[in-house]
Amino acid sequence: MLKMQYQERMTVDEISNRMSLRLPQHEALKILADIMASDFSMSDTELEKHINAKYPIFKEFERDFPSLTFALATGVGKTRLMGAFMLYLYRNFGIKNFFIVAPNLTIYEKLKKDFGEPNHPKYVFNGIQQFAQQPPLIVTGENFKGTNPL
C-alpha cells in the first residue's frame, strides 16, 4: 500500500515525460485517463457499453466493480506503468492508497525496491520532484503493524 499527499493535477503527457514512459505505457495511460473521464454514476452495464464503444477489445468488468487489465509484453515496463497509473490517479483524483498484490516472493521483493527505494536503479518515481523530497510511504507485510497508512 502506498500513501501519498495530494498535489496539483498532472496531464498524461506530463507524467509520461517525467517518468520517461515508452509508447505502449503512454498509450495505456491515455486509455486510463480517457476511461476516468467517464460518467461513473451510470450503471456498470452502461459504463461497460460506453467503454466498449471506445475500446472494442474491452467486453466487461470481471468483478462487481469497475476493473481494468492492461496487457503489455514482457520487458515493456508494467511496474513503471503501475507507478504512472498511481501518480495519475493521485494527482488528478486524490486517490492516496494503492494495494499491489505480488504473485511470489521474488516479485514482492522487487516491487518493494522499485517503489520504496529512491536510490534503486529501477525506482518507479524517478523524475517526480515531490517524491524526491518526500517519498511515498510503502506499507509491507513486514512493517504493517507499526504503520498508520491512513
104-135 confidence digits (pLDDT tens):
999 999 999 999 998 999 999 988 887 877 88
φ/ψ (deg, to 5) at 68: -130, 150
pLDDT value, residue 149: 58
Domain count, the chain: 1
Long-range contacts of 51-54 (CB under 8 A, 24+ apart): none
Q: What is the pTM of this model?
A: 0.85
Position 6 scores a pLDDT of 46
User: Which grid cell is 133?
Assistant: 523530497
Looking at residue 98, what DSSP letter applies? E
Domain containing residue 122: 2-146
Percent of the chain scored above 90 by pLDDT?
A: 54
Three-state DSSP state, 15 = helix
Helix ranges (H only) for the chain are 12-18, 23-36, 44-54, 78-93, 105-116, 129-133
**How confident is the model over 64-77, as pLDDT tens digits?**
888 888 888 888 88
C-alpha cell at 40: 461513473
